[in-house]
Structure 1
Amino acid sequence: MDSGPSDSTSARANQPSTTSHVAADPLLTRAGVGSFRATSSGELLAVNDAFASLTGHAQSALLGQPFSTLLADGSDSPLEALESVEEDDTGRLDPVTTECNLRTATGRLVPCTLHLRRSKEAASSDHDDSTGDVVGLVQRSQLTESPAADTSLTYGKTFAALAEALPDGIIVLDTDSDIQYANPAVERILGFEPDELTGDSKVKIIPERLRETHLTALQRYLETGERHINWTYVELPGQHRDGYEVPLGVSLNDFTYDGDRYFVGLFRDISPRKRAERELSVKVAQLEAVAYLGRHALESADVDNLLAKATELVAAALDAEYCKVLELDEPGEELLVRAGYGWADGIVGEATVSATAANSQAGYTLNDDRPVVVEDLETEPRFSGPALLTDHDVRSGISVTIGPPDDPWGILGVHSTDRREFADHDVDFVQSIATVLATAIERTQYEDRLNETVAELEESNDRLEQFAYAASHDLQEPLRMISSYLGLLERRYAEELDEDAADFIEFAVDGADRMRAMIDGLLQYSRVDTQGEPLEPTAVDAVVENALANLQVQLEEADAEVEVAVGDLPTVLADDNQLEQVFQNLVSNAIKYCEGNPEIEIDAEERGDEWVFHVADDGPGIDPADQDRIFEVFQRLGERGSGVSGTGIGLALCKKIVERHGGEIWVDSEPGEGATFSFSIPDRG
């Protein structure tokens, strides 16, 4: 096989498990061949299952024991035969074959043939032995007239049985790269019959582009012993008899027999694993593309840029030449190429495709609730491709609707110039991209409609504010005139008017005053958002102090007591005038609706990332059924007290101011137990 990057000699010395007998242990065990590794002094370092079974001892019991304990009493150790072996010209040590009797756990002696070899390269790192470990193969001897011949025959039969039973290919080559043996599995993997390869050059099963490299690497190894690939396992291509390459997983080793040097290679077809790896890699790339496009859709509102990126990603992920996004027009008759990848100039943004033609792929896609997969457009019986596809030599592809099948926005299509089959995960990928696009387009359309609605609301609010200002201004003058003339009438004709007439005049003046107060309240309400001051750091202590000063006369007339948590009120971002209005309205309501001498408490508490302020009174309380209604315009507190005047705008004004500050307002109360009005202001400090 070919050579490549070398493995380290020092690393090999520290890893005795990579020696040939250890690497082949599963194969040897399967063939019933025992193997062991021992120090030069005979201490057992490793044994396989077949060796343990032959001796009747557990593997764990054998490790660390001298090999001599397994021999008949007084027998010489067969390992001593290695002492007379000298290195050849290449520095290697030839193997030794010898006979011995092994004592089993039951005391029975079993005649065995041992194939021994000392490997300097495999010296164990856990003992100090400069001459290296001993590796050996052990087989039970058969009683025949010619033990030596039978041993060789048995060994050969064992190898042949093992090689023919393996699903992996085995080849044995000489130093000229001529194949001396090939097992039956080679034909299944590479198509060559074993007899066809035996005696021929190994380069026959190496791709032509790698043959020179192989021969050069082999010659370098024979001259210097330098390896350029990992012999334990390497992935290389093999040349199939039919001309194509087969990916192989290869293990290599070399050995000396009867003075000649040979190489053995075990290999298996790893095409299924390679296909699985490629498919997994494609799936990962497709998932990453979907995730990337999803993030881009969330971060950008530019639909055209999103569509362009989508076509580029889909074409790359499926290794296709073309991808397009078609947008369906309002009548549903024509599709515009809104975005595309790979198309000729003048296509994207200009070319159109019929959406209604019965035999068109686009029309078929719009009328089908499933993805449309085309393997070969030339033989496709369901529809014909439009000129857009045929002019670009398109043969295969996938098309899906963008949006729900019963109300599609358009079509996403990916196309290839080759006839090809698409896997299920390819179709799922295109559908996922179409779903991302549909979601992004729907979100953009929603945002556009929302922006239009907001603009219309802002325009409507401006008109309402102008109307409120005009109405308040225009109504104030007639109301003042009514009040003035009624007062003049009362003063000039007081002696001529009876008691009923005086009452009528008083009612009329009171009504005009209340109407003027309502107009002023509506004007304040309409200007909370548009005429308010910027939110700035505001000391609530000072705001409450100003509000109570404005109510000084009302507080004195009611003999009210107000307890304020002075020093405990925070500083918040607020419009101080509007915040003062809130406290003033809440305290004023508490005074108006409390009988006797009102007791009012004002405090605050921090809750998470906001401050909550409380204005509590000891009045008659509020029915739970009325607690939401009282914050609406013109909704008064009802019969909470008798003879209480008001416009029904005060609490509604408080609510609008609090909401402008990003908070909420509510009341906690039960009839007869007083009321606590609370509102929150976010802590933005």
Structure 2
Amino acid sequence: MNSHSLPAGSEEFYRTLVESAAEGMLTIDAESTIVYANPAVEDILGYAPEELVGSSKMKIIPERLRPVHAAALDTYVRTGERSIDWEGIELPALHKDGHEVPTLISLREHTHDGDRYFTGIIRDVTERRRREDELRDQKERLDEFADILAHDIRNPLSVARGYTELAREREQSPELAQVEEALDRIDRLVDDVLALSREGRFIGETGPVDLETSLRAAWGNVETGRATLEVEPGLGVVVADGSRLAELFENLFRNAVEHGTADPEGVGSHSLTVNAGRLPEGEGFYVADDGDGIPEAEREAIFERGYSTRESGTGYGLSIVRQLAEAHGWTIGAAESDGSGARFEIRDVAFEG
């Protein structure tokens, strides 16, 4: 059967299609009388089709909304002016047992023997509403948690900064300068957490960021033990949120020193080299190490939230790295480095100049 032919008894064919549809279908005339309802309506509203046909559409409309519905249909029949979105509008419908059902309704008008009819396609969106409510509750709890976290961190942070300033008045040392930089970094991270919670953004304003400067600053914020960093000269300048790019590098460095060796003593117990450079194609950059590497079968799973190859690991570091990369419009993948260690390639990066 080609796309333009109809089976024998095509009226029965289309009736079967309509009556087997998963969505509810209900047709009214210009006086709001229900002239057709398919079986799926019963699944949504509890009424068998024969209980609705011949009744007013007001039977399935909550009482408080009946005047609005009546006026809307009357206005459209007289003037052709639509007061709602016919492509899809969420409206409550009245179930047979009296409770309201959230539905999504799309409308179509058609004529038959000179009479006007209106057919609504009805979908039950109760489950979607439930998920939306859950997400809203989770968001509210996240906002509350972020506020508490920020408050509880900033209090001891302020104390630590005060004592650091007193110590620097007595003695100038590079170690105290590093402590101040670390405290400033914590303060910026708190701001980032609040921005993510309140505004739903994973990155803020972007601008030119020198890659080598960002890499070395991030390295200084991580406990790297005996590991060393080698940066290819002339990496260039990228367009990024500087704070979040530093966070991306920090998580990659922590992953390298914590997972780059099978040594059970952990961070600082081994000599590891981490190097960073431009990709040969010039479309991105990489961070690699000469540690134990990542089995090929696990190179996608490592970016999943909660995945970790160590019992003490949180499994969030590389998940955050991917989120930060994707928030910038970049892609990230894992591969094997030249020294059989782990190599992370960030692509689709916009360089300046």
TM-score of the aligned structures, taking structure 1 as reference length: 0.26
TM-score of the aligned structures, taking structure 2 as reference length: 0.46
Which protein shows a greater Rg?
Answer: 1
